[in-house]
Structure 1
Amino acid sequence: MRQTIKNNQLETTMDSLAKYPEESPTSAAQFLDADKTFKKITRRLIPLLFIIYLMANIDRVNVGIAQLQMKSALGFTDAVYGMGAGIFFLSYALFELPNIFVMKRLGVLKTIMLLTIGWGCVSSLTMFVRTPISFYTLRFLLGVFEAGFYPIVVYYLSRWFPLQRRAKAFALFSSGIVISGMLAYPLSGAILKYMHDVGGLDGWQWMFPLEGLPCIVLGLLVPMLLDESPESADWLSTNEKAMIAASLEAGAPASEGQTFAQALRNPLLYALMAVYFSFATVIAIIHFWMPAIIRSLGVTDIATIGLYSAVPSVVSLVAMITIGVHTDRTRRLRESIIASALVGAAALCLLPFASSSLVLSIVLLSVTMAALVTFIPLFWASVPACLPGPGVANAIAAIATIGLLGGVVSPASIGWLKTHTGSMSIGIYVFGALFALGGLLYARATRSVANLRQREV
């Protein structure tokens, strides 16, 4: 019986090798060894990067629930808050490329260390905000230090994982954005409620250093726990390093690919920028306005708002991991990206119609967020295939730079509309429709990209 099972497994393996010969080792034994090696790499690299990304997102979005106290304590209007939320994305966009250049000079690990320590310090200092100018300044600086982290990690992981293994790895790393939502809102809500007036400080003043200071410790751990590349990893054997190099080479395009200067002349680069812009407008709405949306549904207790805000993150975590694994197995990367954009856009546009139902609103917020966080790793996993070559790191940064300007536009627009009309509905419709157009643009722009389509057959 066992022999029959082994024979079936071997036949399945050999079928996979025959179907994707350009991506696979030359024997079933090598295939199984490769699987074991990439699992080892995942266990070694992903946990720390995941925790850092989780904390980055907590420090980014905790202002969303802090506003429930900050605005009244400091006399900020919705327009002031929305402007502050948007300024973060402005500096985030402006410093994507500069931080990539820093990475090229210092290396990946030193750059991640400096960025992580930097945003931990800035986030902690937000407790001293008193005026709109100080709020804008610290949000700008937070964007400066968080800029480039995600594309740097995308570039870093692409040096360890071949294309056909990236969706799952990127999904595991990117799940930090989801779990941060599960933790940030309940944790921040609890701090706001139970630390209020402790030591004469408001709850929001305690929240920022309690959630910012751990990043300084994490930054110091980066050069101690991670390696710059497979070649420098002493925990990999010589054979494992050779297998990784062969897998990366086998999954690369036949040509040498494009330099960044050549990529700048490629219309596909600008299409991807537009797609990511449409995504950034929607993720910013969810990050910064979800607690306010839930409060508008009649929930008044801050801790309860935090718990309700975590529900979409729980749903999103399951969706991200499940779809990431499914995409790796089926090789339907392009189709999954398009579906995520269209489903997320539809759920967001339906949200204003559910304004009388807390349950239905939570469901639609969950679907929207699940689609958004699923879109993130799949989209970035596809970029090296869309724009292959030595210029891919700069191309990733350029896409993020222009795309994230969407995060400047939507929070400020929503804040202005809410201040002057009392409603977010118009902005939600506009940016939901924009995300749908982004999905359709991606479908059209990538329809002839061989490195994506050959994995869909």
Structure 2
Amino acid sequence: MNLLSRSTFDNEPDWRLYNRIAWRILPFLFVLYVVAFLDRVNVGFAKLQMAADIGLSDLAFGFGAGVFFIGYCLCEIPSNMLLQKLGARFWIARIMVVWGLLSISMMFIQTPTAFYVLRFLLGMAEAGFYPGVVLYMTYWFPSCARSQGMAYFNLGIAMAGVLGSPLSGWIMQNFAGDLGLAGWQWLFLLEGLPAVILGFVVFFYLDNGPGQVKWLSPAQNLRVQEQLREERQRNQGQGADHRFRAAFVNKGIWCLIVTNFSLLCGTYGVSFWMPQIVRNLGVQSLFDTGLIAAIPFAVASVCMIVVSKHSDKTRERRWHGTLCVVASACGLIFSGLFHDNAYLSLAGLSLAMAGGLSAFCVLWALPGVLLTGTAAAAGIALIATVGNLGGYASPFMMGWVKDSTGHLEYGLYVLAAITLLGAVSMFAVPQLRGGARLAPGGRALKV
């Protein structure tokens, strides 16, 4: 089985080479992201029991869930600069061990204040993981294959929902009371441990980049290095800047920042509140809640692979990204309109997640084309930093709307409006105007 489409590459040897690389690193990065995303959003399930134990209102939960991203945003750009300097193997390993230990420590919180503090620290610890992996992709794959690479990585979000939601419900339902610990305490303990263990695995398994890796022949190492170097030179010749300051003045990067912000508002707004949304549909069992909450993520996992492969095959980003964002907004509106019908509401949430996660795959294939070198590292981190403020804003907004009106579906309408803004921004990326497509080497073609 080949992870990358044959039509993406100009010749079969390159296709086989990059599929070999894909099989070496993408499944491993996928597992890391499943663990990371689950540790990030399992607080949504923990709330179903934890809220009563520590006196947490809906508004307070929304603030605590979102404050994670304040710490995250403060540290993303410095983290990506350090990854580029110290190497991906060491830095990603450091990130995982520290965030795993902090995730486990969530089991000891007894007050809302402690909840806020640990969520903030968890955000600081995990900062740099996602943008670091995006940067790491540019070390291994040409731009024409990055949408597929990002799809397999982002599949971790969907799989965290597919596997993690039932798992979280099962842990809380079956471990409650064991050794004097509540179900939500077991949740943080058992789902935090894998991050610590995998952190040590990262250090021994992950390579910093092509050059001297033993699982490629010397000729293959050289081929990857030369091809990516030629691509960077082409991008620089066509206006892709490598200077650090370029990340902050590139109009295309700022369009992607707005799009990423809107998508993360929708993704995290739904992810953090999914268990409560499902509970409001009349589901009482924690395990059943997890199974139903997994449905939108399962649908998204299929759609994001299909969209990314087609985007890479046609080398078209603008319409693929824009239409996916619009679909996500429509799904949010549909779910809100039919909030009292379990089947239709879940169909809307499935469309929202499928559109949003598919759009991420297209969006994150672009920074390495717009910028190179240090500017690419800074630009990727900048997109993630400002965009992740959406992860703070949307859970807090959803909690405020729920407390103020008693209607969680009103929050979905607000998320839909924000998401539509992202569609406009994606459509407006200057480098994609006029039907620009990406040629095999990543350069833009006018068609």
Q: TM-score range by the shorter chain?
A: over 0.9
**Residue of structure 2 in register with 1:209 after alignment:** 189
Deviation at 1:442, TM superposition (A): 1.4
Which of 177, 194, 204 does residue 224 from structure 1 map onto? 204
Deviation at 1:419, TM superposition (A): 1.1
Does residue 1:386 correspond to 2:370, yes or no? yes
Deviation at 1:108, TM superposition (A): 1.2
**Residue of structure 2 in register with 1:3 after alignment:** none
Distance 1:207 1:197 in 2: 12
Deviates more, 1:179-188 or 1:270-279: 270-279
Look up the equivalent residue of 1:240 and give its one-letter code.
Q
Alignment of 1:129-144 (within 5 A): 129-144=109-124
**Residue of structure 2 in register with 1:191 after alignment:** 171
Which of 40, 50, 69 does residue 70 from structure 1 map onto? 50
CA separation of 1:347/1:46 partners in 2, compared to 1, >3 Å: closer, same or farther? same
Does residue 1:398 correspond to 2:382, yes or no? yes
Which of 255, 259, 275 does residue 236 from structure 2 map onto? 255
Do the aligned residues in 2 keep the contact of 1:297 with 1:356 (CA within 8 Å)? Answer: yes
**Residue of structure 1 in register with 2:3 after alignment:** none
Asked which structure has the greater CA Rg, the reply is 1
Look up the equivalent residue of 1:319 and give its one-letter code.
C
Distance 1:34 1:363 in 2: 40
Which of 339, 360, 374 does residue 358 from structure 2 map onto? 374
Deviates more, 1:138-147 or 1:203-212: 138-147
Distance 2:126 2:235 in 1: 35
Deviates more, 1:66-75 or 1:258-267: 258-267
**Residue of structure 2 in register with 1:6 after alignment:** none
**TM-score of the pair, normalised by structure 2:** 0.92
Distance 1:455 1:362 in 2: 40
Which of 121, 126, 130 does residue 150 from structure 1 map onto? 130
Deviation at 1:47, TM superposition (A): 1.9
Distance 2:247 2:200 in 1: 35
1:324-364: CA deviation from partner (whole Å, max 9, x where unpaired)? 22222222222211111010011101211111210111111
**Residue of structure 2 in register with 1:123 after alignment:** 103
Do the aligned residues in 2 keep the contact of 1:386 with 1:451 (CA within 8 Å)? Answer: no
Distance 1:383 1:439 in 2: 17
Alignment of 1:98-109 (within 5 A): 98-109=78-89
**Residue of structure 1 in register with 2:14 after alignment:** 34
Do the aligned residues in 2 keep the contact of 1:278 with 1:403 (CA within 8 Å)? Answer: yes
Deviation at 1:455, TM superposition (A): 5.8
Distance 1:124 1:315 in 2: 30
Which of 332, 351, 358 does residue 335 from structure 2 map onto? 351
Do the aligned residues in 2 keep the contact of 1:171 with 1:374 (CA within 8 Å)? Answer: yes
Deviation at 1:74, TM superposition (A): 1.7
Q: Structure 1: which 5+ runs fail to align?
A: 1-12, 25-30
Q: Structure 2: which 5+ runs fail to align?
A: 1-5
Deviation at 1:136, TM superposition (A): 0.6
Deviation at 1:278, TM superposition (A): 1.1
**SS of residue matched to 2:276:** helix
Does residue 1:429 correspond to 2:413, yes or no? yes
CA separation of 1:455/1:330 partners in 2, compared to 1, >3 Å: closer, same or farther? farther
Distance 2:354 2:136 in 1: 25
**Residue of structure 1 in register with 2:215 after alignment:** 235
CA separation of 1:456/1:359 partners in 2, compared to 1, >3 Å: closer, same or farther? farther
Does residue 1:173 correspond to 2:157, yes or no? no
Alignment of 1:288-367 (within 5 A): 288-367=272-351
Do the aligned residues in 1 keep the contact of 2:101 with 2:192 (CA within 8 Å)? Answer: yes
**Residue of structure 2 in register with 1:4 after alignment:** none
Look up the equivalent residue of 2:122 and give its one-letter code.
L
Deviation at 1:389, TM superposition (A): 4.8
CA separation of 1:180/1:379 partners in 2, compared to 1, >3 Å: closer, same or farther? same
1:114-167: CA deviation from partner (whole Å, max 9, x where unpaired)? 000011101111000100111011111111121111111111111110011111
1:256-310: CA deviation from partner (whole Å, max 9, x where unpaired)? 5311212322233322222211111111111100111111111111111111001
Do the aligned residues in 2 keep the contact of 1:382 with 1:452 (CA within 8 Å)? Answer: no
Do the aligned residues in 2 keep the contact of 1:344 with 1:367 (CA within 8 Å)? Answer: yes
1:33-56: CA deviation from partner (whole Å, max 9, x where unpaired)? 111111110111112211111100
Look up the equivalent residue of 2:85 and give its one-letter code.
R
Do the aligned residues in 2 keep the contact of 1:330 with 1:456 (CA within 8 Å)? Answer: no
- Count of equivalent residues: 432
